[in-house]
Amino acid sequence: MASMTLYNYFRSSTSYRVRLALSVKGLDYEYKPVNLLKSEQRSEDYLKMNPLGGVPTLLHNGRYIPESFAIMEYINEIFPEPALFPQDAYLRARVRQVCEVINSFMHPMGNLKTLKYLEEHHGYDLAKKEEWAAHWLNQGLETLEKILQEFSGKYSFGDAITMADLFLIPQLLTCQRYKVDISKYPTLVKINENCKALPEFAKAHPFKQIDTPAEFKNT
């Protein structure tokens, strides 16, 4: 099996999701940093791999796959163990619901290009950008808390790690970065603590990557 290369950025939550999938599956990969602050995601070469200009992109067997959810589904199909979805079709649908709340609703509201647009076209300063992000992120967190009150055990769905956890933990870190008080969501806090205690999660953490600036390492 040819090795994999992940084009990603330490602080990006979508990159963190994919690093988690690779880590939980016990897979090695080459880490290629794409510095979002230097707009490397919009370079001509990168846009050939990922036309939307976002990280991550996976390179496997000479072929590129953009979009974190597509990459994670692919990894889960090629390397089925441990499974990232429950056996039951209904529960699989509900895991995907959680992933979609995060991927389609929450993530775009705090994304760099969204906030940059608000700054450049509507004069938003840092405080207004944080207020914007917190408004939408809290709506997402309220929704996730309701869903996961029904399904969680140690983790989002019972006591086994699923795709839902790999989306949730990075998004919670983003929420904290935007000063959202996650302690209002006890089910999410419990899952966060339990996941963070696992070595697979520690390995994929944004502050432990090769492109993590010194100021963030060991924090």
Q: Which stretch binds ligand GSH (CB under 6 A): 65-73, 87-95, 130-138, 154-162?
A: 65-73
Taking the C-alpha atoms of residue 86 and residue 161, their distance in angstroms, rounded to an integer, is 9
7 close to 30: Cβ distance less than 8 angstroms: no
Give the residue, chosen from 75, 98, 109, 111, that forms a contact with ligand GSH under the rule CB under 6 A. 111
Taking the C-alpha atoms of residue 132 and residue 169, their distance in angstroms, rounded to an integer, is 21
> Is there binding between residue 14 and ligand GSH (CB under 6 A)?
yes
Work out how close the CB of 184 gets to ligand GSH at its nearest, in angstroms, rounded to a whole number: 24
Give the residue, chosen from 68, 192, 194, 209, that forms a contact with ligand GSH under the rule CB under 6 A. 68
Work out how close the CB of 19 gets to ligand GSH at its nearest, in angstroms, rounded to a whole number: 12
Q: How many CB atoms lie within 10 A of CB 43?
A: 12
* Burial of 203 per CB tally in 10 Å (0-12, 13-18, 19+): middle
Q: Which two tokens stand for residue 151?
A: 């399904």
Q: Which two tokens stand for residue 132?
A: 């914007």
Number of residues engaging ligand GSH in binding (CB under 6 A)? 15
> Is there binding between residue 23 and ligand GSH (CB under 6 A)?
no
Residues that bind ligand GSH (CB under 6 A): 12-14, 36, 41, 53-55, 67-69, 103, 111-113
